[in-house]
Each structure stands twice: as C-alpha cells, then as structure tokens.
Structure 1
Amino acid sequence: QGASNAEKFDYVMNFMNKLAGNEYVGFSNATFQSERESGDRNFAIGYYLKEKKCFPEGTDMTSILDFYFQLCSIEVTCESASVMAATLANGGFCPITGERVLSPEAVRNTLSLMHSCGMYDFSGQFAFHVISFHARLGEQNLLDPETGSLFLLQDLVSLCNFHNYDNLRHFAKKLDPRREGGDQRVKSVINLLFAAYTGDVSALRRFALSSMDMEQRDYDSRTALHVAAAEGHAEVVRFLLEACKVNPVPKDRWGNTPMDEAVHFGHHDVVTILRDYHTQYSPQDAAATAAADSQSAEKNLDGLL
C-alpha cells in the first residue's frame, strides 16, 4: 500500500524472475492494451467493490486495475514456464538457482488453487481426465475438443502415468517417463555438447543440477570442455572447471586435450584459464578420472547399441 504501480510491477517481475531461475520473463504491451480495452467486467466489479467500500481509503481503483492488467500481460517461454513449474514441484526451491522462492504453505495453497479452479468452469473435468491445467487455456477455449489439443493431452495421460493418482511403480499398462534407456543417454550427450558449443551456461547449469554427468563423451571421446575450448567460450570453460569440477585434461580419440583445442583455434583467454587448472590437477585425480571415463565410455556404447 502506498507504492507506485511502477514499484509494484518491478517487485512482481523480480519475484517472477526468481521463480523462473532468471530464465526469460517479459511483458507484452499488445496484451496489456487488449486487456485494458476489453476489461468492462473488471471495471464493473471494481466500481461495485468501491461502492461497498472494499478498498482501503485513498485507493485509486483505476490505477489498481491498470496494475492488474499489467500482471495479466507478463509473458514467458516454455522453458521459463517449466522452471516455474519445477519450482512449485520442488517445494518452493528453484532448481536452477537453489534459492527458496516460496514457502511450503504458499506452494501448497497455490497448487490447491490451480487444481481446483485453474481451468475455471472446466477445472473438475480437466482434473479428472488430464490433471494438467492453465487458466488462460480454459478461458480462451484452447482445449476445446474441436481443436484436438484436449485429445492430445488425454492421449498422453492414457499412454504415460502422468495422472496425480496413477501409481508410478505399479501401473504396468502405462509408460513411466522417468525411466532412462540408451536413447536417453545419447540425447544427454548431444544436449550437453550442444550447450557447450553454443555457450549456453544456463542450460549447462540446469544439466548439472539435474545430476547429469558433465564429463560424458561423444563417439570421438570429446567432452563438453573440448567443445567449449574449441569455440572459445571462456564462461562455459570456467563453469565446467569451477562449478562442475571436471577433468581439465581429458583426451579425445586423437589424443587432443581442451588445451590443445584452445591453442589450435587461438583462444588465448581459454588457454589461460585451462593452464591455471592444469597446475592444480593431480595425477591421482587423473587416474580416478580415467576409471570414470572408462565407465562413461561403456555407458555411451550401450546407448549407441
């Protein structure tokens, strides 16, 4: 109470960024203008509440509605929305940053509301058949059977044990999406090396926090550190060495190390970083890493087979 709309909006955006682990959170001005122009019912409700003296003294009702329309216009990507969902599923701790964003009570109350009324009038049927929800989808009838999207979600639930009350261990007729096969391990290597190639530290941080093996190798025995060094991504190299504690001197099938790659392509800043870690790395660590590399190679071979 007493803060300007700008201060309130900044507060909410900061909170949303924490919820999304600093992934993309933006604002759609087109949506804001549309909400404001079509908000007759909201204005009617606002004036009714004002008549009944529901607002604190001195409240500017139209300003409050503008702020509400702004909140309705916050936009996210599938990736940032998934981190928000993961934060709720993780008891309020963001899995990307490890920061507590919500209290356990807030998580419980939020999930209860999403389950009971997140799809408005369609919430009960949706909870029974799909248990997947989003208020805007229900409001805009995007899950009408004619669009096919509702059938798609129902098919997913019939195929995999996604329903809240499907037994994850003893529902033999459904697929368990948690199980990882050889194909999944191959995809894991591809995703890891591609993130290193593009310099995507955020993706690498997610992989590390999900307990991915950050030293796994491709067919040519190249690691993410090889790729990052070859591309000159100093921040990726530093993250892999400092945060993930990867071996700084792995050799690919041609005997090249990340240092060799950095020297070959003239990335002097990467060479400096790697040289510092070369002096800190002990032969005993290398021996232990070699054994781990052997096991990793076997896993990768299993995946390819």
Structure 2
Amino acid sequence: MNPSTFTVMEGEDNERIDQRLARDMDVSRTAIQQWITSGDVQVNGKEIKSNYKCRTGDIIEVVPPPEASPLTAQPEAIPLDIRYEDDDVLVVNKERGMVVHPAAGHASGTLVNALLHHTDALSDVNGALRPGIVHRLDKDTSGLIVVAKTNDAHEHLAKQLQTRSLTRLYIALVHGNVSHDEGTIEAPIGRDQQQRQKMAVTNVNAKEAVTHFSVLERFSEHTLVRCRLETGRTHQIRVHMTYIGHSLVADPKYGRSRSSPLAGQALHAETLAFIHPRQQEKRTLTASLPADMQALLDNLRSG
C-alpha cells in the first residue's frame, strides 16, 4: 500500500482519526490503530493517538508498513502471574520476553492474548488490540502492570497516569559508577531522527520526560538504581540512563555490545501504587526481581 496524505477540510473536523482513515483508505480500524501505535501515521509532522480528533487544516500523512494487514487479538492459554484481581482491575507480574499487546511481528503470545483467555471482562477504551491496557512495559522489561476490566476503571487509572499520581518504581542495573546518590533527569524524548525504531533525547517532535533515580548499590563496574517515572514515554528509563552515560546492562537497543546472561535489559517494574477506581483506597504491590536478574546481582556481590 502506497503512502497517502490527507488534508482535513472545513466541516470535516472533530472526527476520530482512526475512524476517518478507516473510511478513506478502506482499511479496518484495527489496522489503522496499529499503524498509529507504530508511528506510521502523523498529523502535522507529529505522532498522535487513535482517539485524536481531526481539526480543520490538519495534514495527515500515512506510510503503511509493508505487511499492512489487520491484526486481531485471540485468546490463548498462556500462564499469568496475577498479583491482584477484583471486578475492576487486575495486576500482572509480566515476565521478560512477553510483548504486552499484538503488533507487527508479534501477533500472538502477548499479554493481551493471555488476558483474553483469563477473563471476558476487559475495557475497550484502547481498541480491540489493547483491551484493558492502561500503560505498557517493554517486551524485555519484567514486572508489574495494571489492567482495567471496565471502562470506568480504565478512565480512572488513565487520569492517575495523567496527573502523575500513579506510582511506578523500577529497579535497573546500569553500566558504570553513578556518582550521585540520587538525581532527576529532565530531558524531552522523541523519535530518533536517524534510527526510527529508537527513541532519543531530542527537541524535535519530543515530549516532556522526567525520571527520578536513587542509587541502591554500587559494584566495581556497575550500579544498581531505583527509578521513579514521573512521565511515561516509550523506553524512557533506557533512554534517560543512556543519556547520562549509564546504559542498562544487556539493553539490546541502547546498551553496550557485550555478552550478558540476561535475554534483555536489566530492568524490572518492582512497585506499582494506585488509588482503586471503585474503593478509593490506595493499593501498593511489589514484585521481587526475576531469577536471572537476581542471579546476576548475586554474582556481582560475590565478586
């Protein structure tokens, strides 16, 4: 499918972009939503979300991927490590290597596939490919992720993300000696202009990004840190720690090229705290480090 450009004319505004493109290009909304998620759709040179409302004068550019075909999410009997569940939300301890939702190259075996097999109750706010998904973790980042089972719960949790009241703490092992015991990285993140599959600290089409860190333990050539996300940009901790000269151990995209016993970056979503959408009480959950990351730390401690 060839690249396409559309201009929103007067009287054509206030329509969701995924609905408009699905109609104009004769492609399913599921496919359009996937293109938007992958950054293949831009409005006025910037990436947007599926629920973006078109405005008069908008220039919509679409560059469909070569394999541009609709994806669907099917239930799959995949084991889940569920740490909390009720009628409104559930919290899963995601294992390293699991993709959160179907996307190009990962049509099955995702967290969403497992969730669809586990329950019929998932919010549909983010479309058919991301039912229940309020926030994401990278494929090779392990740890806690909250899932909404109703639309009301989804909107409540999304508002907490927006107002930065939903707490996410991560444990990361990085290269080098982080000299400060704690600090804050405030540096905007956007798509890398040379390598479109990567993110970077940049001022071009970037969004505010804030990461707080504190040192937990130092080794001869590595540092163990805890990071708290104030914002939630794609690859934020990986990009920010690389930006200050301390890339994550075993990070295949931003790290140093050297062997590691880990099959992916040494990053774990350790703690998740949120206000329960219905009960209005704070819920705090923690998950211990995965076995491979714990073994790596034990080896470093033993010299």
TM more than 0.5: no
Using CA pairs under 8 Å that are at least 6 residues apart, name the structure with larger relative contact order, 1 or 2: 2
TM-score in terms of structure 2 length: 0.20
Greater per-residue helix proportion: 1
